[in-house]
């Protein structure tokens, strides 16, 4: 049966019509209990979803959709290690990486997952302690002071976002730098800030074939050798995180400095694996474990809470409600915490690489929307950039507002002002401002009736724009782990309901293939004529500039 013909979907479609003219401001006026009715707590995390265009009936019908899609059974299959990434014939077990010590899971084929994870964690712990204690010496006998993580996508965004978010928890012995872009500016500017005698390069690549990462890694290697000269010194300054031992060896990295992981860890789900080595080095190993423990606590919530009291499930269902029934095609994430400034970028990969799919599990092109466009910026900066559109634009953008109750940097009134803005924005988006309210406001400012008539349409806010507010006590490794895992599971639930495979990413391949074909053409002496007229002209313009 097609998804849109399923009983739960049809019930939601008809229920939506009854809500078309309902205003959230009236729902709040009619129900003083609306906040407690539509909020969920898990540990330190509170989700307030009362500012959504939903009633109890909506939430019950959405939960029916999740049940009908078999979300609970699919979730259990994921945790059990079934090969739910069927296009790549792989299990999806990032949740195993944050299980407490002693966890056991035997995979088909004989891998003892818990044992293997513990071995790599032990290796990471030993290495981290050596570096942070200064026992590990660079080639000239000095301790390591700078770590440069070279990776891209999941091998960059997670560690970069987490180390930015947890700056107040830095161990302090090393600084971390992240190089991802193939643009030579990224590596060049980073190398200007470090000293080869005291720098450790971590080459982070699941496949160890990614063009950007290997090119940057070779540039770093040449830079290092120009200064240190002796190739044997590479072993003191280069480590690798990968599933591909042969390629690591071929690059010349001592496999004693290689930290493994497994094909059942997707790139965008890999910060919990040895891809998190830069996180462990920045925070210290114990705090890396706290991050894992926070994620595990969210895993337990996701596994055990009933669907209607399950934070990731409720977030997923609300996303589907707007994306599929209201046709709102994007979703914003607005952290009111400067430390979380890379969270929207991280979530773009997590969500859009996972659910940016157009065929279902049977290979049929879907006739409904799947993954939304994810975007965002921290508050309050975003208020002065794109909130105009969020309040008065023609598209409605559902959004998550994220706020820690306590700041890591108490400074005068800053945090109160930040919090006031966060609460004010969700209130304004929900309530809006009617023409009568705008008229009264302008009247009390002493304007003439004529001026008021001209201005009122510009001063009206339609309101009824949905938001979730996520609040936790403070940003710390545990809470951040829980927050990230919450979004992972949200994306998973949506993928199940949309009947897509959230764990492959074939869509990134075509551009890579074409770039490989174009690269040698850029050096060609003759005009290129093998592409379409636009691509030929652009290549030839570049060639002429490049080749003089």
Binding site for ligand F6P (CB under 6 A): 151-155, 205-207, 210, 213, 267-268, 353, 505, 508
Distance separating alpha carbons of residues 112 and 352, to the nearest angstrom: 31
Which of residues 145 and 249 has its CB atom nearest to ligand F6P in the complex? 249
Cα–Cα distance list, 258 to 140, 244, 289 (Å):
22, 10, 20
* In the complex, least distance from residue 207 CB atom to ligand F6P, rounded to whole angstroms: 3
Q: How far is the CB of 542 from ligand F6P (least distance, A)?
A: 24
* Closest to ligand F6P by CB, 206 or 296: 206
Question: Looking at the chain, how many residues does it have?
Answer: 548
Tell how strand 373-375 and strand 330-335 pair up: parallel
Active-site entry in 197, 353, 488, 521: 353
Q: Which residues of 236-248 are buried (b: 16+ CB within 10 A; e: fewer)?
A: bbbbbbbbbeebb
Q: Which is nearer to ligand F6P, 152 or 292 (CB)?
A: 152
CB of 444 to ligand F6P, least distance (A): 55
Angle at 126 between CA 120 and CA 130, to 5 degrees: 145
Least Å from the CB of residue 165 to ligand F6P: 19
Residue 202 CB, shortest distance to ligand F6P, in Å, is 12
Give the active site residue among 115, 406, 414, 512.
512
What phi, psi does 41 have (nearest 5°)? Answer: -115, 140
Give me the catalytic one of 384, 406, 414, 516.
384
| Min dist. Cβ of residue 494 to ligand F6P (A) | 18
Measured CA to CA, the distance from residue 72 to residue 184 in angstroms comes to: 46
Which long-range contacts link 303-306 to residues 24+ away (Cβ below 8 Å)?
Answer: 303/75, 303/76, 303/79, 305/40, 305/42
> Rounded distance, CA 134 to CA 63, Å?
53
Q: Which is nearer to ligand F6P, 266 or 372 (CB)?
A: 266
Instruction: Give the relative orientation of helices 509-521 and 533-546 as an angle to the nearest 10 degrees.
Output: 50
68: annotated active-site residue: no
Q: How far apart are CA 325 and CA 334, in angstroms?
A: 23
Residue number, 186 or 287, with CB nearest to ligand F6P: 186
Which CB, 210 or 323, lies closer to ligand F6P? 210
Of 384, 457, 460, give the one whose Cα is nearest residue 425: 384
Tokens at residue 275, please? 């891809």
Min separation Cβ 497 and ligand F6P, Å:
22
Q: Which residues contact 276 (CB under 8 A, 6 or more apart)?
A: 124, 158, 159, 162, 270, 288, 291
Reply yes or no on whether 384 is catalytic. Answer: yes
Nearer to ligand F6P by C-beta: 55 or 270? 270
Per DSSP, helices labelled H in 20-55 are 24-30, 34-37
Three-state DSSP class for residue 439: helix
Pair 58, 308: CB distance under 8 Å: no
Q: Which residues belong to the active site?
A: 353, 384, 512
């Amino acid at each position: 049966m097609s998804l849109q013909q399923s009983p739960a979907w049809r019930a939601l479609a008809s229920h939506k019509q009854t809500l078309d003219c309902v205003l959230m401001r009236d729902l709040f006026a009619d129900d003083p209990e609306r906040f407690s009715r539509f909020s969920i707590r898990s540990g330190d995390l509170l989700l307030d979803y009362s500012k959504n265009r939903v009633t109890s009936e909506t939430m019950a019908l959405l939960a029916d959709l999740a049940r009908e899609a078999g979300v609970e059974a699919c979730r259990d299959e994921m945790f059990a290690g079934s090969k739910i990434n069927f296009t790549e014939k792989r299990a999806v077990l990032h949740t195993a990486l944050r299980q407490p010590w002693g966890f056991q899971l035997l995979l088909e084929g004989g891998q003892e997952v818990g044992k293997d994870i513990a071995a790599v964690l032990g290796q990471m712990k030993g290495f981290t302690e050596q570096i942070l204690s200064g026992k590990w010496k660079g080639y000239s006998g000095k301790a390591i002071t700078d770590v440069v993580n070279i990776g891209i996508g999941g091998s960059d965004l997670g560690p970069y976002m987490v180390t930015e978010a947890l700056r107040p928890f830095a161990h302090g012995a090393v600084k971390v730098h992240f190089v991802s872009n193939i643009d030579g500016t990224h590596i060049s500017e980073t190398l200007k800030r470090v000293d080869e005698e005291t720098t450790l390069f971590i080459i982070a690549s699941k496949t160890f074939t990614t063009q950007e990462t290997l090119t940057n890694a070779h540039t770093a290697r040449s830079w290092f050798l120009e200064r240190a000269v002796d190739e044997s010194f590479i072993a003191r300054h280069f480590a690798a995180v990968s599933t591909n031992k042969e390629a690591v060896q071929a690059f010349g990295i001592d496999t004693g400095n290689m930290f493994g992981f497994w094909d059942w860890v997707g790139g965008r789900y890999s910060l919990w694996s040895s891809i998190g080595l830069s996180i462990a080095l920045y925070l210290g190993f114990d705090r890396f474990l706290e991050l894992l423990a926070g994620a595990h606590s969210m895993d337990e919530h996701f596994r055990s809470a009933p669907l209607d009291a399950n934070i990731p499930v409720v977030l997923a269902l609300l996303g589907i409600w707007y994306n599929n029934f209201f046709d709102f095609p994007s979703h914003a994430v607005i952290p009111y915490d400067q430390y979380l400034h890379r969270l929207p970028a991280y979530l773009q990969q997590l969500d859009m690489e996972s659910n940016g799919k157009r065929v279902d599990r049977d290979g049929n092109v879907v006739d409904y929307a799947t993954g939304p466009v994810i975007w965002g910026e921290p508050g309050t900066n975003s208020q002065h950039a794109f909130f105009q559109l969020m309040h008065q634009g023609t598209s409605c953008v559902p959004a998550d507002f994220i706020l820690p109750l306590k700041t890591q940097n108490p400074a005068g009134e800053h945090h109160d002002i930040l919090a006031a803005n966060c609460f004010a924005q969700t209130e304004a988006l929900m309530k809006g401002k009617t023409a009568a309210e705008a008229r009264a406001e302008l009247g009390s400012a002493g304007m003439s009736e004529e001026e008021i008539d001209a201005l009122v349409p510009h001063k009206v806010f339609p309101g009824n724009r949905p938001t979730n507010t996520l609040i936790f006590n403070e940003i710390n490794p545990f809470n951040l782990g829980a927050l990230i895992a919450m979004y992972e599971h949200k994306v998973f639930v949506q993928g199940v309901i949309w009947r897509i495979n959230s764990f492959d990413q074939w869509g990134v391949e075509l551009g890579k293939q074409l770039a490989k074909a174009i690269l040698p053409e850029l050096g060609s002496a003759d005009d290129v004529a093998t592409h379409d007229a636009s691509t030929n002209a652009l290549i030839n313009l570049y060639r002429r500039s490049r080749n003089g």
